[in-house]
């Protein structure tokens, strides 16, 4: 019994690792499609509103870095618990006052993708950090 359980747990760990590897390669494949394209395509095709893009020009290195970051925003979880049963009047239960609870959830980082363009404005490289990049990185439109 213990050996079967260990094998099952080991199998789940390998499956999880394999899924992460697939997600990572999916994000890399999407990012690779931008290599060789004009950096202006990034600004035309990806969202730039609301401070989504950060552009840094590095004259010494002769490159421009275009970075997009995605987050899960902070949120508040709210739930209400019914008060305790106080009694019954004519077959109708009477409950004490209910209580409402709140739990604050911090914002979490999803993905940061940075495309690096040369002096001619052609994308030559990219860098990626985060756990949800497979979902957040977009392919260029044809």
Per residue in 20-33, pLDDT (tens digit) is 444 578 889 999 99
Cα-to-chain-centroid distance, residue 77? 19
pLDDT, mean of residues 89-104: 93
Contact between residue 134 and residue 24 where contact means Cβ atoms under 8 Å apart: yes
* 142 is a domain residue: no
Structural domain boundaries, residue 83: 2-136
- pLDDT range class, residue 9, cuts 50, 70, 90: very low
Do 94 and 85 contact (CB within 8 A), yes or no? yes
- Angle (CA) 53-59-64 rounded to 5° is 25
pLDDT > 70? residue 97: yes
Contact 98, 85 (CB under 8 A): no
Residues 1, 82: contact at Cβ < 8 Å? no
pTM of the predicted model, to two decimals?
Answer: 0.66
User: What is the tally of structural domains in the chain?
Assistant: 1
Region 91-103 average pLDDT: 93
pLDDT surpasses 50 at 18: no
Residue 19 has pLDDT above 80, yes or no: no
| Within a domain: 55 | yes
Residue 129 in any domain: the answer is yes
pLDDT at 4 over 80: no
pLDDT at 138: 87
d(CA 113, CA 127): 6
- pLDDT at residue number 128: 92
In a domain, 141, yes or no: no
């Amino acid at each position: 019994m213990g050996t079967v359980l260990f094998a099952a747990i080991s199998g789940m760990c390998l499956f999880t690792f394999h899924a992460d590897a697939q997600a990572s390669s999916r994000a890399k494949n999407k990012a690779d499609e931008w290599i060789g394209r004009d950096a202006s395509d990034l600004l035309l095709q990806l969202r730039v509103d609301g401070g989504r893009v950060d552009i840094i020009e590095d004259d010494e290195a002769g490159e421009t870095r275009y970075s997009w970051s995605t987050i899960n925003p902070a949120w508040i979880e709210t739930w209400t618990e019914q008060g305790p049963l106080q009694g019954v009047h004519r077959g109708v239960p009477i409950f004490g006052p209910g209580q409402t609870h709140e739990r604050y959830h911090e914002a979490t980082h999803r993905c940061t993708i940075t495309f690096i363009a040369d002096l001619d404005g052609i994308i030559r490289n990219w860098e990626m950090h985060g756990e949800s990049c497979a979902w957040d990185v977009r392919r260029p439109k044809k």
